């Protein structure tokens, strides 16, 4: 590992767009499938991790999701996810989980949240990484189940159920094509009234009108992916002026959505040139053979960024987060101090 790659690995990082199910180790997929009597098409799940579109990726994502049978499985997943992230400088993550398929199969949302929280606590004790949660609505199940999930989450929070203090907000993910995001407005309106933060996946394979709907109809405070935003200059300028965060996943957009043939053609650099608060994230790292070190190093190389540019990107992750001002300030100070030390080692190395 080169000195700059090692420095990027050690640079403290925030991640705002990562699906916990998409961090599942291949060995864990196999072991949980055996435990829960789920038949896999192969004993090596990595053979399945090749995608031609978002929807073909989702077929594998749903298969991986299916091996999570109980709260203990969710706890193991959360623990391993955080430990693996810590190896690549992760210090804070707001992690998505998408429970629709499990709720449909009879699991209880309270058990899922409690399991995730248990794993997060164990990982924090082991690594110091702080993990918070975002409950994602699965578009494929429609607005009715989405609203029911939010209603149940609100009930659990009011009852101070285990782990619910870690659930910061809700999101909207899964297939984008043929789905009107405004259909989910009642669920997002309830979430907002109940003090939950709001984000949604928009514009990965859909036009900027869906991004506008995300902020204007769903009340989202940030947008996940948002690739088509630049097709609407007026909306782009609004995002710049209002500092609405984008949680961008450049390598995922290539490996999952096949949106660009190579990283150099991704609009990430253009987003940042225009002044957008475009954060850097992995999305589903275990299903795409990614990690935060690779994400940072490949983006640095593709766009000719300097060390200072990468530190700014790390700091922008803090700005885009839902941390309170005190915690955000402390994390910015930590990143800056560690970055200065790493820069000194690079200069003398």
Query: Which sequence positions are flagged as catalytic?
Result: 204
Write the CA distances from 200 to 27, 197, 215, 320, integer angstroms. 30, 11, 9, 14
Rg of the chain over all Cα atoms, to the nearest angstrom = 19
Please say whether the beta carbons of 93 and 15 come within 8 A.
Answer: yes
Q: 63: burial class by Cβ within 10 Å (0-12, 13-18, 19+)?
A: middle
DSSP 117-147: HHHHHHHHHHH--EEEEEEEEEGGG-HHHHH
- Taking alpha carbons only, the member of 92, 68, 144, 83 closest to residue 119 is 83
Strand order in the sheet with 130-138: 13-15, 90-97, 130-138, 167-173, 197-202, 222-225, 246-248, 278-280
* Cα(232)–Cα(234) distance, integer angstroms: 6
Phi, psi (5° rounding) for residue 176? -95, -35
Tokens of 125: 């004790």
N-term to C-term CA, the chain: 14
* Cα(212)–Cα(232) distance, integer angstroms: 10
* Cα(306)–Cα(314) distance, integer angstroms: 13
């Amino acid at each position: 590992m080169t000195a700059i790659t090692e420095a990027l690995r050690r640079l403290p990082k925030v991640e705002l767009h990562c699906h916990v199910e998409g961090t599942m180790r291949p060995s864990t997929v196999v072991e949980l499938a055996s435990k829960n009597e789920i038949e896999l098409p192969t004993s090596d799940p990595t053979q399945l991790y090749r995608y031609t579109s978002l929807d073909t990726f989702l077929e594998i994502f749903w298969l991986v999701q299916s091996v999570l049978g109980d709260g203990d499985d969710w706890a193991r997943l959360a623990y391993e996810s955080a430990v693996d992230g810590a190896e690549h400088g992760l210090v804070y993550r707001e992690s998505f989980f998408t429970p629709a398929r499990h709720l449909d199969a009879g699991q209880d949302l309270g058990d899922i949240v409690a399991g995730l929280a248990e794993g997060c606590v164990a990982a924090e004790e082991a690594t110091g990484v702080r993990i918070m949660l975002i409950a994602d609505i699965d578009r494929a199940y429609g607005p009715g189940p989405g609203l029911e999930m939010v209603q149940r989450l609100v009930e659990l929070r009011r009852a101070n159920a285990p782990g619910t203090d870690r659930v910061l907000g809700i999101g909207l993910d899964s297939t984008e094509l043929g789905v009107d995001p405004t259909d989910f407005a009642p669920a997002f309106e309830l979430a907002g009234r109940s003090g939950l933060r709001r984000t949604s996946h928009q514009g990965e394979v859909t036009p900027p009108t869906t991004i506008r709907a995300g902020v204007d109809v769903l009340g989202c405070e940030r947008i996940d992916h948002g690739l088509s935003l630049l097709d609407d200059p007026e909306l782009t300028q609004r995002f710049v002026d209002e500092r609405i965060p984008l949680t961008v996943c450049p390598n995922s957009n290539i490996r999952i959505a096949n949106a660009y043939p190579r990283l150099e053609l991704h609009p990430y650099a253009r987003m940042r040139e225009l002044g957008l608060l475009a954060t850097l994230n992995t999305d589903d790292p275990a299903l795409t053979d990614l990690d935060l070190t690779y994400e940072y190093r490949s983006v640095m190389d593709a766009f000719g960024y300097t060390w200072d540019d990468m530190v700014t990107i790390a700091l922008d992750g803090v700005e885009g987060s839902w941390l309170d001002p005190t915690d955000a300030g402390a994390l910015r100070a930590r990143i800056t101090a560690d970055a200065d030390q790493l820069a000194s080692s690079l200069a003398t190395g």
